[in-house]
Amino acid sequence: MNDSGAVVFDGDTGTASQPDRHVYRRFLAKQAPPSVVADGSQPTINNSGTILFACSRAGVTALCTESSTVTKVGDIIIGGQTVSGFDAWAINNNGGIVFTAALVRPAFLGSFVDSS
């Protein structure tokens, strides 16, 4: 929940064999039902109202806001390393995003000498 009383959560409206997860937003001060924001899960919201959540883009796991894809599995980031997954994300009130990424490191281009 942010300082404006906006709450975000995810819910599954599918079946066990065909899950269908959505991100919802509800303003506590209004007598209205939650509204669907996007397909996704594990949302967090800042005081500006920006929602950060896990999503899927073209069948690839991604981290998104309502207006953009932040990163996705397969993206090349810091030092030429490839993202293979991410976890534990947060967004601050200025829109700064942090997350923990699992990275695929480039192949080691060294030599191996058998000592036997």
Q: In this model, does residue 73 exceed pLDDT 90?
A: yes
pLDDT of residue 77: 86
pLDDT score for 48:
95
Length of the chain: 116
pLDDT reported for residue 79: 79
Q: What is the mean pLDDT of residues 57-72?
A: 94
Say whether pTM exceeds 0.85: no
Average pLDDT over residues 25-38: 92
Q: Give me the mean pLDDT over the 75-97 stretch.
A: 91
Number of helical H runs and strand E runs in the chain: 0, 10
